[in-house]
Structure 1
Amino acid sequence: MYVLGVINNRQTLNIRAEPGASNNQRVASPPSTAEEIPNIIHFVYILPDPTASSFTFGFSHFLSIFSAHHFLHPTKIILHTNCHPSTSAAILSAKNGTSGKWNSLLFNLPELNLEINPVSVPLTASNGKPIQNMEHKSDFVRVAQVHTHGGIYIDFDVHVLRDLSPLRKAGFQAVGGRQLGGQINSGTFMSVPNSKLITLWKEKMGQVYNGGWTTHSNEVITSVGERLVREPGEMLIMEREAFAPGSWNGADTDALFRVHDNTMNAGVNVTDVFANKGRLPDFREEFPDRWEHPERFEKWEADWSRTYLLHAFTPDRWSHKVPGFEHITPRYVLERKSNFARAVYPVAKIMYEKGWIGEADLDNHNGK
């Protein structure tokens, strides 16, 4: 018989295997053939009742989507939702501003190149188990849409810190990143259309779904993704610091969001900046600064050099109180008194320069 072998991730060669040959002589099946992962960004937002609910995008959501636009320069950003763009009252109220400023900006700004994709929300997994949790419905939608279109999926609590082109063009058909505990995080991932990873994930998530929080998501992408690493060009798994450097536990959320009032590096009196219509400083960090001038950095101050995507797990869901932190507001970010603020400050600074952040917005997290 003949076994198909993979050469340089693009060519194939028939290798003869004698009867009774060891399994070690068998080579993986051919890789996917797309040259690079499409530069399409996917967000998912499912309303509990599309006929009666409204979008509740706040400053942090807009900050997330604009960071993707700014650093990734996507061909388009797709918002997958269970609302039709031409008939939905929720989208209409978002566009006309009655549901808040950040909803209005998100749906109206031409430069975002936002495409609304109405989707049917799955109610039952392929194994017959009802899908009741809204987050789980989102999980099924995101996997199905990336399977169809390819591209980069990003949760609304993920903030892009730098360009992902080197990863999209690295020759891998899918890319994911570790989170606390070693699993691959399902809050951000990327794939070509119909890659082995996304195809197997789409198939298996419906088979194993049991209502558990991550049974069908993190657990499946981890088990499938780790097996695919052995097949040339199929799967790249990044270290935890690349995509999810923090976590949902109290110590990590404190480290990310805690406000440090007595800090030498904040240096932004936002009230004065707005009063004088002044410019916000850049706070550029040069490559050798960390080891040549360690005295310039606080002990609590994180180094984001290894991070492409900051998955900022907020403490709200677990009712954990972070010292000095209430909400992600423009003032909170622009004052730069936390690790989160320092990470996303460059994007918020651009929003200020574009006139999207006004003085009335400084302490308002939901834009209402």
Structure 2
Amino acid sequence: MPEKTNLSEHAQPRINCQTMQPVMELENVTGMEPVQVFSENSECLQTFVKENCHDKELVPNLVHYIWFSKREMNFYQFLSFLSASRFLDPCLILVHGDHLPFGTYWKYLLKLVPNIMHVQKSPPEDIFGKPFGYIEHKADIARIQALQRFGGIYIDTDEIILRSLDPLRKYPVTLSRAVDYNLSNGLILAERNATFLNIWYSQYKTYDKSQWGYHSTIVPYQLSKRYPDLIHVENKTFVRPSWQQLPLLFEKNFDWSKNYGIHLYIRFYKFTHDFNDIKYLNTTIGSVARHVLYRSKELCEK
């Protein structure tokens, strides 16, 4: 695993909601302490974010993940969280969901990244009275809701951050094309209660569960053409290669030096890797993992 000494002792941050204004306090702990939990509508958390996670930019340096159902964290999800911590240095990482991850990678992540908090949220069952068809559609709407409430940076659990997103935090909303006719929702930057988000959310009045990615990717693309002043669009720098170019991820070496992030599309990948064999994997996934774990994309010598 990446270098980390004295893992049994570490400082764990807690937001103290008992003071007049919520403040972060560091608590020295041994072993693993539970992640601090907030309700979805916690005024304490919202106040803390407003006072501590904002700077001169429109988008606060605050990271959001959605995690519905009880699932063990895998190697690639670990990479995503670690990349967000290392390259964004966020104020907090908020995990919105009904459960937290579990397993070896999750326990190790908490010792490397102490500023993770849990926002308790049940998967939404319907939108404008229309029942959701897939858990992915529930996560689609949950990410918009999180950004409406807090603002910040939403990241999919198989999206890897490759460098700072600070140059993009000046825009009220940023999305990137995955292909020429859509905008990917796997990485979203938005100010709190952004007008574009509100319009996008309202379009779910026509939600149809038989349409897999229409409201999550096609609708924001269409809205970006109608309201170009409300959104900044990146040209494939969040998701290049796309799902149409999977061999570039899984079999070859793609030059991702101009990317802000990369989507691994792990649901289409049949191999499982770990901290050891990833050192010798001569593919894009291998170089990205080494970049996050060891700060170098170069292959190791056996």
Q: TM-score under structure 2 normalisation? A: 0.74
Q: CA deviation at 1:315?
A: 4.9
Cα displacement string for residues 113-156 of structure 1 (whole angstroms, at most 9, x for unaligned residues): 00100013211120x32113111111111110101100111001
Residue 221 of structure 1 deviates from its aligned partner by 1.4
Q: How does 1:92-131 map to 2 (within 5 A)?
A: 99-106=102-109, 108-109=110-111, 111-126=113-128, 128-131=129-132
| 1:55, distance to aligned residue in structure 2 (A) | 2.4
C-alpha deviation, 1:350, in angstroms: 5.8
* Counterparts of 1:208 and 1:330, CA distance in 2: 45
Report 1:67-86 matches (<5 A).
Answer: 67-83=83-99
Cα RMSD after superposing both structures: 2.1
More strand by share: 2
**How far, CA to CA, are the matches of 1:149 and 1:308 in structure 2?**
22
Alpha-carbon contact 2:82-2:113 (below 8 Å) kept: no
Q: Distance in 2 between matches of 1:112 and 1:313?
A: 27
Deviation at 1:302, TM superposition (A): 2.1
Cα distance, 1:248 vs. partner? 2.2
Does 2:195 correspond to 1:196?
yes
SS of structure 2 residue aligned to 1:243: coil
Q: Is the 8 A contact 2:253 2:282 kept in 1?
A: no
Aligned residue for 1:42, secondary structure, equals strand
1:1-368 paired onto structure 2 within 5 Å: 35-47=57-69, 54-83=70-99, 91=100, 99-106=102-109, 108-109=110-111, 111-126=113-128, 128-169=129-170, 172-205=171-204, 207-211=205-209, 212-229=211-228, 231=229, 234-240=230-236, 242-249=237-244, 252-258=245-251, 300-316=252-268, 326-349=271-294
User: Offset at 1:343?
Assistant: 2.3
**1:44 & 1:60 partners in 2: Cα distance?**
15
CA distance in 2, matches of 1:134, 1:156: 14
Residue 259 of structure 2 aligns with an amino acid whose one-letter code is T
Going from structure 1 to structure 2, the CA distance change for 1:238 and 1:310 (only over 3 Å counts) comes to: same
SS, match of residue 330 in structure 1: coil
Partner of 1:17: none
Q: Which runs of 5+ in 1 are unaligned?
A: 1-33, 48-53, 84-90, 259-299, 317-321, 352-368
Mapped to 2, the partners of 1:39 and 1:253 lie a distance apart of 31
1:35 shift after superposition: 4.3
For 1:41, give the aligned amino acid. V
Residue pair 1:66, 1:112 contacting (<8 A) in 2 also: no
Aligned counterparts of 1:75 and 1:215: Cα–Cα separation in 2 = 33
Normalising by the residue count of structure 1, what TM-score does the alignment of the two structures yield?
0.61
Matched residue, 1:25: none
Give the residue type in structure 2 aligned to 1:102. Answer: Y
Letter in 2 for 1:216: H
Per-residue deviation, 1:103: 2.3
Query: 1:175 deviation in Å?
Result: 0.5
| Structure 2 Cα separation of the partners of residues 337 and 350 of structure 1 | 16
| Local SS of the residue matching 1:326 | coil
Aligned to 2:26: none
Q: Is the 8 A contact 2:154 2:188 kept in 1?
A: yes
**Partner Cα distance (1:253, 1:315) in 2:** 11
Q: Which amino acid aligns with 1:66?
A: L
Deviation at 1:327?
1.8
